[in-house]
Structure 1
Amino acid sequence: MLFKRILFLILMPAVGLAVKPEDFSGYKAAVLPQVRKTNLLEDPAFSDVGCWKGLRSGVGIENGCGRNQTAGLKYDRTLPDEYVISYQNVVLQPGTSYRFGVWIKTEGELEGDGAALCMEHYDRNGSWRSTAHSSSRVTDASHWQWIEGTLATPPEAEGELVYRFSCYMMKGTTGLAFFDDAVVEEIAESGWLIAQTWPTHSVCPASDGKLKLSCLKAGDTGREIVYEELVCLGRLSVDGGGVVERTAELNASGCVTLQFGKLAPGRGELEIIIADPQSRSFIGRQKWPVSIEARDSAGVQIDEHGRTLVNGKPFMPIGLYCYDLQKEDLDCIADSAFNTVLPYGSLDLRFNGSSFTHRAAIREVLDYCEQKGLKLIFALKDLLPAPVVASPVAEWNGIEGGDEIVKRVVESLGDHPAILAWYICDEADVNQLDTLVARRRLMNCLDPSRPSLAVFYQIESIPCYLPCSDILGLDPYPIARNACNQMTVVEQAMNWGERCGMPLWTVPQIYNAGLYDPEVREGDTAKFYREYTDPTEHQMLAIVLREVIAGAKGFIFYSYFDLRPGRGPDSKQFERRWPEVCRVASILKSLEPFILSTAAGPAVTIEPRRGEVRARCLADQAGRHRLLVTGNGPGRSEALLELPEEFGSFQSTTGNTENLGGGRYRFAGENISCDWLIETR
């Protein structure tokens, strides 16, 4: 039986198996209740023009064009520049998983990227927050074809959420398409999200078999399930060597550590089962292949504290997103606290005037990075297939196909010491998980000495993304327009990042959001200055410190290219803003011994007075301390902080914290605010 508890001995002399058995006899798989599903759309059959918005010439409800000669939505576009979306607002509940879909038929083949479907989340002020896309598009369907997607709403939200269910043709697409019988419905039973968070590369260490896992119920807001009451049963099946079992209780965040003991190297399969002792049932299960290895310190590793180790030595990436890289850029970056670059154009790196081409040109750039003391995160994100990325790279140096190009890149460049990690995914939709997991596994096989990094903004889906990379990257950008005075999106993302227990790198915002406004790009300079603002130095520091408080160990700022001359209407922005960004990076660099320390700092007691305040005290290996504090905003944030008196006195660096004596401090800040305090003893 799948869940019957078995005691056994592995036929390997080096393996010790002294373990107290848990009694799972009589446990059964949970019987899940049948929940009647309700379509949340009004007029899903497209028969009432009053229920749908965005209807106009070429896009409208028409009788006889539906699936059963009934009414349907007709989308007729002859001009590529036309872009119309037909939509309906839908009210969803926080912390809930939903399925959305629609039937589509085309008349002939559409020219372009096809017809599609998405769900867009807008906050109460009407500002866009996130988008979930269907997992496929339709370009040629003489018969009705079903497309669908899934989404999980933010669990932290208060009250109902408004999403926009949108049927449309992709930009530039022309032709005739029909939509009918749409659906938005709650997923009654969304299952468990179980992932190995450490070691990376799906490795089980042969030395002690120690693994860290995240086990979360999909759609859980953190209030419905008491994870500490659940038990994790791990079964490690070793090829040709039997099975090892271990059990452990989950912690309050759904994380757990299992230690299988000393193992012989080889291949295996790990099965994780979540047991509920109260109901005597097994409520979650997942399995995946693992490699049992004796790992050395060569190359780039991530240790169990989430730190990056380069040839065994701790390294904290303080990096910048770039497009291409020229020597003057690398000289400028190297003459600052930044130590890492992530060029989007990694596949085409070449110095101006270089006599080298193709891979030799890339190696020349890598050599110069090494010479300047810079690490490079090599971007492979555009080698994922459509629709994971909008414009995938189909050919590189005569090689075709994403997987084949990835193999050749690693084969020809993977030996270079300047490469720190592989950037394999940039904000892909959660519906593409199978593709993302497959690419991560390919990278792990090709390069066991470097981790893969994927970055996401989709806060509500963070637990879903854990199997997609070795390092979880999060890029919450709070500064959108002039009126932005809070960093709630950073708070929410960091809460999830901390809860999941995954090695965490973040992407602090340093860019002006107006650079991405279509009207500004078309020349509306007045709108740029009227509606947008640069993140201030204090705001950038507050974002970074909140991410440090959450346990981030790597920081790749976005972006260097948005500061360069010629980017946007402000020709003086680089000389004005680059020193501000560098000062923030310098503060981060000064905190590196504390961020990378394995010593635990004292607990900080927070007594909130107004708003949301977060604080953490870090300790370095020499016993020194730094106190970090952030205020989320909007408005004023105030709190009393208390530390044990034996840790001495702390001095504010921003003026936002008052020392009250006796280990007590008062923090007060306006909107997005922060402080970092130095121990003076």
Structure 2
Amino acid sequence: MVKNFHFLNMLKQLLILAGTVAGTELYAADWSGWRDNTGSGRVIWGNGFENRTANPFRLGCYSIEPHSGLNGGGALCLTRHKPEDYFFQEITLENVAPGELYQLRLHVRGENLSQWKIMSFAGLEFKGDKDKWISGSYIGGEVEQEDFRRYTLDFTIPANAKKTNMVLFMSRGVTGKLFFDDVEVVSRGSQFTAIPLKPSTALTIRPDEKDFRFQIDPAAPAEAEAIVSVTQNGKTSDIRLGLDRRKQLTGKWPQLSPGPVDVEINVINAAGRLRLGATRFAFQKARRSPLPAGSCLIDDRGRAVVNGKPFMPVGVFTDRIDREMLRRLRDNGFNCLISYSSLQRSGEAETRRQLDLMQQYGIKAIFSLKDQPDNVTSWQIREWEGASGGLAVAVKAVSSLRNHPALLAWYICDEAVRLHVPAIQKMREVIAAADPYHPTYSLTNMWANFPYYGLTGDIAGVDPYPVKAKGKTQSIEEVTTALQAASLSSQPIWITLQAFNRGIYSERPWNAAALDRTRAPSREEMRAMCLLSVIYGAKGFLFYSYMDAAQRYEAARPGSSAAELQKLYHCAGELKRLEPFILEAESRAVPQSGPVNPTIHCRYFRLPTGEVRIVIVADNATPGKAVFRFNGTGKLISRFGLTHPLPDGSYEFSSARIDSDILESVPADDGRPAGN
């Protein structure tokens, strides 16, 4: 009997290691004898410095300053008035071990620094018995006086170290202020996550859905494979799958009944018997029933589909709503918004009244629950309509409002640090269980962490804000960088675009002098950011923010808001003109003919009717030109006059600044000459 047991166990291992046809069910995987590298990538310590009452740095020279960090959030400020002062505090790191590779990640900027070209500002110090200093590892560089710069430092811990301390400091003799934001220490090994692509919405397996698809981190090694473990009602089916060239895995669900389904995806190196990453999700198998009115599902092309029709979000961020605002948005091409006050503390009646008002004006709600994950922000609503606790309140709100016709999606992450991803993923799961008919949307300004951030929502969001102070060569290349990073998760992307002057966030009360020290994007820059997002595949477009353009500008400089709002209206109008092409057209990148200008980008869109649009963007303020050849398009008309036909049939785009153009196909008998 014992011999038979060992034989069966060995046979089971051979089945798992030898591989099976996709969709074949196996015995439960046995990980005995495998090396586990899945703890790699975990956050050892992290802080985004949003909560002033929870400052881990207790010395008086450290303070948490709101509106001083990345994108207007909080930051840790280290202040020194006298050059002879030299104080700093150590933060002891827990759960670290000698021999493992770690990385310190942080963003730093300066203000009124007496010396700012090169300095040291962060590091690790290792101590042995009796707190004796062993060694240190430090990082420094050129500190910008206005803009944050990201720094990283890889380190290992000496074998004889008993304590590892992180230090944030200012070089000796320097006075002024240093600001630190999004400081993290992470384990550097493998954390090859799996992002659900199918099912695409609310972690819900539809009744007729037979297949699943996951995006594995594209950085996974070529020999990587995966074992998908599907558990329901105590029964587990293990399915071993290879990865395709995109590092995606596709398989078939085992027989499932309606209800909860737990899924674990282990990325493996079978030959080395090594687990490279483990991702767990709580899915739901849906019962067969008609789609409710107002449902929003993500289709296999990454489009939002509302009531059976493709929908392209064009919206704004705001902190409150009123009739005049909704009328302006409706009349100028917008169809949705995110209000930070979506969930009213007073209860369901007032929350529902806001949604009713939006419905009257045809504006959809991307409903904000971003403060409800535990330990993420200090604005969590903990009591609401009889529910207690952040997640319980979120579930109560979702259950109460999920059938409202104004609802488009749930907004559950707003620039949270990597440390908070597990908490946001948990909220994603409980929201999906409560509402299987609306997606979750998650936004980050730390796109270097994709595809990991894809765990937090059905729709990925990034918010590059590239336009900064006057007097510098401007570039919107950051928009491309953010979108390319987000694309690593292969999810639909709804981008947030800059529609504000950073001076709004530098001083209180709002004032004209602060606005004059920097600037907002011009109309051409804002349009170029929109069209660059179209080129790189965004399916939704949000502007941050209406409250800046309409309210804060007006408070700082009376009479200025009208011009800022016109920029928003112009961009929304151009996006609406392109909507059929973004949602329905086949598209491809267009290479340049002749010398390549890397600052100019181009994409071709063609509808089934044959109608064509070609979008071209210059992402840099340096004057430049590029030549493109388009085959089979017929006559093309330049919308903004920056592209002209050449005698050989090609087209030349030229720009003296950040700008954009759209070429539109027209009938051959159209009286206008090509390019005009």
Is the structural similarity TM-score above 0.5?
Answer: yes
Distance 1:564 1:123, change over 3 A: farther
Q: Any idea what the Cα deviations from partners look like across 1:491-540, whole Å, max 9, x if unmatched?
A: 2101112232112111111112211112xx346633422x2222111111
CA distance in 2 between partners of 1:120 and 1:330 (Å): 49
Specify the alignment match of 1:612 in structure 2: 599
Pairing 1:327–2:323 present: yes
Return structure 1 stretches of 4+ with deviation > 6 angstroms: 16-21, 24-28, 62-67, 98-103, 119-124, 130-133, 145-149, 183-186, 277-281
Letter in 2 for 1:657: T
Contact 1:121 1:129 survives alignment (8 Å):
no
Contact 1:206 1:263 survives alignment (8 Å):
no
CA distance in 1 between partners of 2:483 and 2:605 (Å): 17
Specify the alignment match of 1:314 in structure 2: 310
Specify the alignment match of 1:236 in structure 2: 230
Letter in 1 for 2:393: I
Letter in 2 for 1:457: N
CA distance in 2 between partners of 1:550 and 1:244 (Å): 37
Specify the alignment match of 1:70 in structure 2: none
Q: CA deviation at 1:565?
A: 4.2
Q: CA deviation at 1:439?
A: 1.2
CA distance in 2 between partners of 1:30 and 1:209 (Å): 33
Deviates more, 1:392-401 or 1:438-447: 392-401
CA distance in 2 between partners of 1:216 and 1:61 (Å): 42
Q: CA deviation at 1:201?
A: 2.2
Deviates more, 1:260-269 or 1:200-209: 260-269
Specify the alignment match of 2:283 in structure 1: 290
Specify the alignment match of 1:165 in structure 2: 168
Distance 1:6 1:331, change over 3 A: same
Contact 2:217 2:488 survives alignment (8 Å):
no
Q: Any idea what the Cα deviations from partners look like across 1:592-649, whole Å, max 9, x if unmatched?
A: 111111x523552235533322222123343322111222214234333333x22334
Q: CA deviation at 1:456?
A: 0.8
Pairing 1:494–2:483 present: yes
Letter in 2 for 1:189: G
CA distance in 2 between partners of 1:121 and 1:503 (Å): 37
Q: CA deviation at 1:584?
A: 1.0
Specify the alignment match of 2:381 in structure 1: 393
Q: CA deviation at 1:191?
A: 2.7
Task: Say which SS state the counterpart of residue 320 (structure 1) adopts.
Answer: strand
Pairing 1:536–2:522 present: yes
Q: Any idea what the Cα deviations from partners look like across 1:335-377, whole Å, max 9, x if unmatched?
A: 110011211111239xxxxxxx743233232222212111112
2:636 to 625, 637, 650: 650
Q: CA deviation at 1:427?
A: 0.8
Letter in 2 for 1:537: R
Task: Say which SS state the counterpart of residue 421 (structure 1) adopts.
Answer: strand
CA distance in 2 between partners of 1:661 and 1:500 (Å): 43
Mapping of residues 187-198 of structure 1, within 5 Å: 187-198=187-198
Distance 1:275 1:424, change over 3 A: closer
Letter in 2 for 1:5: L
Pairing 1:406–2:394 present: yes
Q: CA deviation at 1:399?
A: 5.0
Contact 1:122 1:128 survives alignment (8 Å):
no
What is the aligned length?
559
Mapping of residues 262-301 of structure 1, within 5 Å: 264-275=257-268, 283-293=276-286, 297-298=291-292, 299-301=295-297
Task: Say which SS state the counterpart of residue 465 (structure 2) adopts.
Answer: coil
Gaps of 5+ in 1: 11-15, 36-48, 68-83, 93-97, 104-118, 134-144, 150-163, 168-182, 350-356
Mapping of residues 470-481 of structure 1, within 5 Å: 470-481=458-469
Q: Any idea what the Cα deviations from partners look like across 1:133-162, whole Å, max 9, x if unmatched?
A: 9xxxxxxxxxxx99999xxxxxxxxxxxxx
Q: CA deviation at 1:312?
A: 1.6
Letter in 1 for 2:244: L
Specify the alignment match of 2:561 in structure 1: 574
Specify the alignment match of 1:128 in structure 2: 147
Specify the alignment match of 1:5 in structure 2: 15
CA distance in 2 between partners of 1:315 and 1:120 (Å): 47
Specify the alignment match of 2:650 in structure 1: 664
Specify the alignment match of 2:69 in structure 1: none
Q: CA deviation at 1:680?
A: 2.5
Q: CA deviation at 1:258?
A: 3.7
Q: Any idea what the Cα deviations from partners look like across 1:467-506, whole Å, max 9, x if unmatched?
A: 1112111111111222361012212101112232112111
Q: CA deviation at 1:187?
A: 3.8
Contact 2:121 2:169 survives alignment (8 Å):
no
Q: CA deviation at 1:571?
A: 1.5
Specify the alignment match of 2:333 in structure 1: 337
Q: CA deviation at 1:19?
A: 6.9
Letter in 2 for 1:434: P
CA RMSD in angstroms comes to 4.6
CA distance in 2 between partners of 1:552 and 1:577 (Å): 23
Pairing 1:366–2:355 present: yes
Letter in 1 for 2:419: N
Letter in 2 for 1:216: D
Letter in 2 for 1:194: A
Q: Any idea what the Cα deviations from partners look like across 1:99-148, whole Å, max 9, x if unmatched?
A: 99999xxxxxxxxxxxxxxx999877454337899xxxxxxxxxxx9999
Specify the alignment match of 1:138 in structure 2: none
Q: Any idea what the Cα deviations from partners look like across 1:4-24, whole Å, max 9, x if unmatched?
A: 43599x9xxxxx988799xx9
Pairing 1:462–2:456 present: no
Q: Any idea what the Cα deviations from partners look like across 1:68-108, whole Å, max 9, x if unmatched?
A: xxxxxxxxxxxxxxxx9xx996699xxxxx999999xxxxx
Specify the alignment match of 1:589 in structure 2: 576
Distance 1:316 1:100, change over 3 A: farther
Pairing 1:453–2:441 present: yes
Identity among equivalent pairs (%):
25
Q: CA deviation at 1:433?
A: 1.5
CA distance in 1 between partners of 2:207 and 2:557 (Å): 56
2:531 to 545, 554, 562: 545
Pairing 1:214–2:201 present: no
Contact 2:23 2:239 survives alignment (8 Å):
no
Q: Any idea what the Cα deviations from partners look like across 1:373-394, whole Å, max 9, x if unmatched?
A: 11112112223344x1133334
Deviates more, 1:581-590 or 1:561-570: 561-570
Contact 1:380 1:422 survives alignment (8 Å):
yes
Distance 1:65 1:451, change over 3 A: closer
Task: Say which SS state the counterpart of residue 646 (structure 1) adopts.
Answer: coil
Task: Say which SS state the counterpart of residue 610 (structure 2) adopts.
Answer: coil
